[in-house]
């Protein structure tokens, strides 16, 4: 049984209340940090832990914190990014629903480390029930003296507020989130300046994912060095993986980074294999933005070594044969799923969510969606496939924020690995409407691998 840091007490009845959470050792990290550590020492522990941002980019959290500017007389802000909207990712919803105090506790510790006296949790508006849960949890923590003025008699003050979003994926991008928090349209800002210099209301600001903030609790409790012992290489600690798609047991799992992908998919401790006794066709390992991989490349590296659930192993081989850990949204496709249809679906998502500020993303995402729609519904041309690759290249890297890349990668990777399926859609315009291409001989550059059967 792997170690659980965030979800250790998830099955304890009433763990969503302050009293039970406290009984199970909750808020020890606040006591330890505020009473025995200086803010810089907290930052140092987080640095030592090697914790990397859990929202998708994987940037070391401690390093991000140390970039925060600290001019005299200017307030600093910590904003928690709970605008979870990456298709395939639902870990933050799970955490906030079932163990909201883990996030509140992490917010207090992190705000203390950064010297913030007002912090916001920006939750996507659709999660209204979670907003209510958090508001109740904040009220509980406040009446227990863990929030407000002079916390635990240490002289540290912190007010914590929940801010609802309005329904926009782009607000998961940190500067768009800050714009939205300022009551504006969620248009990402042009960087530099980075939020660490000029963020919310032009003040130095750190924006962190829910899971990153919650992870500071075990880091402070056990020490950064202990945390860094878990995991593999530069992928330290545990990670929440949201598993969805055609799996026997989809859901949120806490894994130690370094677990093999095969074990994650097939072992009974985790997803329990592919649903309905079917075979695995492909996976999207880190949320819809990351490149899709065919089954054989999901389970094994190009070298034949097993692929592991870690930042490094998942990106091994670059985009030619690898993908990314991203936000940990693990989507599994069984043999009856149509890659063209799914690619079109994702393209529609990015088209719908593009903020429209910069031209390559605004116009290019719609163009890709239309071409993919045409292929999916049997009106495509052979030249459309290269056109898609070309348009995706024109978007990638040429936009203000990473949404352009996120829109381009799924399309480019689907064509890279499943080109024959796209071609089949063009060649069989009638048949493709009611028949699926199946497993077939995709998966270059490894020769067709042994087909893994679900067990």
Partner 1 sequence: MLRVEEQQPVEFSSALIARFDEIVKRYPEGKQKSALLPVLHETQAELGWLSTSAMDKVAEYLDILPIEVYEVASFYTMYFLKPQGKYVLEVCRTGPCCLVGAERIMKHIEDRLGVKEGEVTEDGLFSWRGVECLAACGYGPVLQIGPEYTFYENLNEQSVDQLIEDLRRK
Partner 2 sequence: MSDKVKVTIDGITVEVAPGTTILNAARQIGGDIVPPAMCYYSKLQGSGGKCRTCIVKVSKGSEKDPRPMPKLVASCRTTVMDGMEVLNITSPEVIEARNGVVEILLINHPLDCPVCDQAGECDLQNLGYEHGLQKTRYEFERRTFERIDIGDKIQLHMNRCILCYRCVFTADQITNKRVHGILNRGDHSEISTYIHTAIDNDFSGNVIDVCPVGALTDKTFRFKNRVWFTKPIDAHRDCPTCSGKVTLWYKGEDVLRVTARKDIYGEVEEFICNTCRFDKKKTSDWVIEHPTHISDASVISSNHYETLKPLPVIQNNPVLQEANRKELEKTVKF
Residues contributing to the site for partner 2 (CB under 8 A):
168, 185, 190, 192, 351-360, 362-367, 370, 387, 393-394, 397-400
126 binds, among partner 2, partner 1, none (CB under 5 to 8 A by kind): partner 1
DSSP, residue by residue, 345-367: HHHHHHHHH--S-SHHHHHHHHH
355 binds partner 1 (CB under 8 A): yes
202 alpha carbon, distance to own chain's centre: 26
C-beta separation of 237 from 51 below 8 A = yes
Give the nearest distance from C-beta 380 to partner 1 in angstroms: 20
- Specify the stretch interacting with partner 1 by CB under 8 A; choose among 38-46, 177-185, 206-214, 447-455: 177-185
Give the residue from 207, 111, 122 showing the smallest Cα distance to 159. Answer: 111
Options 37-45, 121-129, 256-264, 359-367: segment touching partner 1 (CB under 8 A):
121-129
Least distance from partner 2 to the Cβ atom of residue 197, Å: 13
Spatial separation of the C-alpha atoms in residues 196 and 204, rounded to whole Å: 5
Interaction between residue 184 and partner 1 (CB under 8 A) = yes
Residue 376 near partner 1 by CB under 8 A: no
The residue within the footprint of partner 1, chosen from 85, 205, 260, 365 (CB under 8 A), is: 85
In 182-256, beta strands by DSSP E = 205-209, 231-232, 235-236, 238-245, 251-256
Binding partner at 416 among partner 1, partner 2, none, C-beta below 5 to 8 Å by kind: none
Binding window for partner 1 (CB under 8 A); candidates: 38-46, 325-333, 386-394, 424-432: 325-333
Quote the least distance from Cβ 51 to partner 2, whole Å: 24
Q: Which is nearer to partner 2, 404 or 454 (CB)?
A: 404
Q: Does 99 bind partner 1 (CB under 8 A)?
A: no
Q: Please check whether residue 90 is in contact with residue 201, taking contact to mean a CB–CB distance below 8 angstroms.
A: no
Three-class secondary structure assignment of 273-332: CEHHHCCEEEEECCCCCCCEEEHHHHHECCCCCECEECHHHHHCCHHHHCCCCCCCEEEE
The shares of helix, strand and coil residues in the chain, as percent rounded to the nearest 5, are 45, 15, 40
d(CA 70, CA 74): 8
Picked from partner 1, partner 2, none, the partner binding residue 125 (CB below 5 to 8 A depending on kind) is: partner 1
Look at residues 192, 239, 188 and name the one whose alpha carbon lies nearest to residue 214.
239
Element containing residue 164 per DSSP (H, E): strand 156-164
Cα 50 from Cα 67, distance rounded (Å): 16
Element (H, E) at 162: strand 156-164
Min. distance of Cβ 57 from partner 1 in angstroms? 18
User: Among partner 1, partner 2, none, what binds residue 127 when CB lies within 5 to 8 Å by partner kind?
Assistant: partner 1
Compute the least distance from the CB of residue 452 to partner 2, in Å: 36
Q: How far is the CB of 218 from partner 1 (least distance, A)?
A: 24
Tell me how far, at minimum, the Cβ of 368 lies from partner 1, in Å.
15
- 196 in Cβ contact with 64 (< 8 Å): yes
On whether the CB atoms of residues 407 and 350 are closer than 8 A, the answer is yes
Please say which residue, 165 or 291, places its beta carbon nearer to partner 1.
165
The CB-of-219 to partner 1 minimum distance in angstroms stands at 25
**Residue 400 touches which of partner 1, partner 2, none (CB < 5 to 8 A by kind)?**
partner 2
Cβ neighbours for 241, distance < 8 A, ≥ 6 positions apart: 91, 252, 253, 254, 255, 264, 309, 328, 330
Binding site for partner 1 (CB under 8 A): 75, 84-90, 92-93, 118, 120, 124-129, 159, 161, 163-169, 180-186, 201, 242-246, 250-252, 284, 288, 329, 331, 333, 337, 341-342, 345-346, 349, 352-353, 355
């Amino acid at each position: 049984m792997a170690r659980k840091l965030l979800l250790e007490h998830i099955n304890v009845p009433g763990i969503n209340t302050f009293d039970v959470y406290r009984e199970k050792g909750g808020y020890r990290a606040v006591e330890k940090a505020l009473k025995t550590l200086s803010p810089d020492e907290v930052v140092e522990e987080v640095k030592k832990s090697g914790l990397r941002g859990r929202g998708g980019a994987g940037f070391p959290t401690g390093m991000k914190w140390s970039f925060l500017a600290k001019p005299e007389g200017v307030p600093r802000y910590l904003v928690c990014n709970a605008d979870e909207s990456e298709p395939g990712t639902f870990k933050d919803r799970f955490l906030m629903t079932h163990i909201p105090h883990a996030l509140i506790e992490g917010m207090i510790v992190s705000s203390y480390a950064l010297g913030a006296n007002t912090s916001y949790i920006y939750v996507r508006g659709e999660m209204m029930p979670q907003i209510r849960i958090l508001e109740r949890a904040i009220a509980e923590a406040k009446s227990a003296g863990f929030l407000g003025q002079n916390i635990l008699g240490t002289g540290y003050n912190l007010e914590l507020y929940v801010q609802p979003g309005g329904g926009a994926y782009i607000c998961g991008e940190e500067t768009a989130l800050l714009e939205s928090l300022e009551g504006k349209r969620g248009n990402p800002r042009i960087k530099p300046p980075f939020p660490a210099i000029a963020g919310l209301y032009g003040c130095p600001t750190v924006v962190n994912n829910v899971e990153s903030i919650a992870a500071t609790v075990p880091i402070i409790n056990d020490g950064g060095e202990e945390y860094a012992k878990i995991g593999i290489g530069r992928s330290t600690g545990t990670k929440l993986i949201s598993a969805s798609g055609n799996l026997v047991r989809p859901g949120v799992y806490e894994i130690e980074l370094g677990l093999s992908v095969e074990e994650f998919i097939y072992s009974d401790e985790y997803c329990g294999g592919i649903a309905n006794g079917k075979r695995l066709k492909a996976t999207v390992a880190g949320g819809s933005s990351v490149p899709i991989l065919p089954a054989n490349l999901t389970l094994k590296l190009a070298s034949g070594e097993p692929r592991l659930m870690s930042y490094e192993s998942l990106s091994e081989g670059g985009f030619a044969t690898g993908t990314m850990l991203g936000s940990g949204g693990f989507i599994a496709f069984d043999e009856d799923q149509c890659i063209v249809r799914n690619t079109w679906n994702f393209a529609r998502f990015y088209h719908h969510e593009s903020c429209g500020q910069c031209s390559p993303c605004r116009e290019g995402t719609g163009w890709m969606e239309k071409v993919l729609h045409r292929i999916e519904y049997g009106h495509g041309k052979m030249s459309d496939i290269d056109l898609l690759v070309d348009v995706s290249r024109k978007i990638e890297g040429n936009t203000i924020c990473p949404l352009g890349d996120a829109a381009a990668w799924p399309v480019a990777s689907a064509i890279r690995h499943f080109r024959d399926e796209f071609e089949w859609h063009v060649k069989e315009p009638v048949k493709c409407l009611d028949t699926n291409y199946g497993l077939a001989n995709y998966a270059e550059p490894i020769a067709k691998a042994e087909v893994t059967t679900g067990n």
